[in-house]
């Protein structure tokens, strides 16, 4: 839930995994690798989906990306 907007966001098991890893500071490439290991998908599809999901989280102010 975004407390400032009052919007609720739900995510399935893959989305929850991605969100957890991203919030722990895991880099996107490693998130993709873990998604491929744990779920039935290809690296190409996981990369597209993870990227889109992270952008969506950032757009809704639910995640901030910190470049190191």
Q: Counting Cβ atoms within 10 Å, is residue 49 exposed (0-12), middle (13-18) or buried (19+)? A: middle
Which pLDDT belongs to residue 12? Answer: 84
* Whole-number Å distance between alpha carbons of 46 and 30: 11
Closest by CA to 52, choosing from 24, 31, 26, is: 31
For residue range 9-63, what is the model confidence (pLDDT) as tens digits? 567 899 999 999 999 999 999 999 999 999 999 999 999 999 999 999 898 888 8
HSE-CB at 24 with a 13 A cutoff on CA atoms is: 9
Phi, psi torsion values for 52, nearest 5 degrees = -65, -40
């Amino acid at each position: 839930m975004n407390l400032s907007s009052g919007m609720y966001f739900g995510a399935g098991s893959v989305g929850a995994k991605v969100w957890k890893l991203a919030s722990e500071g895991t880099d996107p490439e490693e998130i993709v690798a873990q998604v491929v290991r744990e779920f039935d998908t290809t690296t190409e599809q996981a990369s597209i989906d993870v990227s889109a999901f992270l952008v969506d989280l950032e757009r809704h102010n639910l995640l901030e990306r910190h470049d190191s």
